[in-house]
Chains A and B, each alone.
Chain A
Amino acid sequence: AQSVTQLDSQVPVFEEAPVELRCNYSSSVSVYLFWYVQYPNQGLQLLLKYLSGSTLVKGINGFEAEFNKSQTSFHLRKPSVHISDTAEYFCAVTISGGSYIPTFGRGTSLIVHP
């Protein structure tokens, strides 16, 4: 079975600074990878996804992530954060050709300070 590890439970950062949220997965087969964002009192919404092709994927709100198969990682980055990026971020994985039931990480709380 697949699993996801988000190494940081909380990441504080100042506004306009760069940020990286880390995600590692474990799977012996091909995977699809996702990042979701959850703003306070709202549902999860998709930020970006990796299905195939280019390992660098761009998402909404200036976020991007890079799929690294050898390191089984899918870290999320943004070059300059805004106060409005304060939210919970969840990494998720499904098995390509499997049952397509996403497994989520525990989440990383991004806190952007002015």
Chain B
Amino acid sequence: DTGVSQNPRHKITKRGQNVTFRCDPISEHNRLYWYRQTLGQGPEFLTYFQNEAQLEKSRLLSDRFSAERPKGSFSTLEIQRTEQGDSAMYLCATPFGSANTGELFFGEGSRLTVL
């Protein structure tokens, strides 16, 4: 069974505030990915987890960003001291099926607007 739930779907915040997004895969996968999508662009890789371990982080993930995956199930992405440039859709994804090919099942995303 596949499926990824993301919350909140929309978040409007003022510059300088902290925000946290949550990703809940319906079924457990060893991998979980975070991507960012800005208007008119394709998804850009942020980070991924293999179980609880965060194995790779993109240069896009500044010190203000932190992601966790306790217990290897759900994951959170926190952005501290938000900036207007952080406004984007944040996408969570898990592998589709058991084989690691890069085929992903995406959640519907969490849209962040920083005023």
Contact = CB atoms under 8 A, between A and B. Distances in A.
The reply to whether chain A is a binding partner of chain B is yes
Interface of A: 4, 6, 9, 32, 34, 36, 42-46, 49, 51, 90, 92-94, 99-107
Contacts of B105: 46
B105 to A, nearest CB: 8
Given A51-B101, A104-B42, A44 B33 contact: no
Nearest to B55: A99
B104 to A, nearest CB: 6
A49 to B, nearest CB: 6
Interface stretch (B14-22, B66-74, B80-88, B106-114): B106-114
Ranked 10 nearest A-B pairs via Cβ: A94-B102, A104-B42, A43-B108, A43-B106, A100-B102, A102-B102, A44-B106, A100-B100, A104-B43, A107-B42
5 contacts: A32-B102, A34-B103, A100-B95, A100-B102, A101-B48
Contacts, number: 62
Contacts of B95: 100
B67 to A, nearest CB: 14
A51 B101 CA distance: 8
Nearest to B50: A99
Given A44-B91, A94-B102, A99 B56 contact: yes
**Which of A4, A34, A100, A107 is most buried by chain B, counting CB atoms within 10 A of its CB?**
A100
Contacts of A92: 42, 102
Contacts of A94: 101-102
B56 A101 contact: yes
Contacts of B31: 100
Nearest to A92: B102
Contact of A101 (B33, B107, B108, B109): B33
A99 B100 CA distance: 9
B62 interface: no
B103 A49 contact: yes
A49 B55 CA distance: 25
B108 A42 contact: yes
A21 to B, nearest CB: 13
A102 B106 CA distance: 12
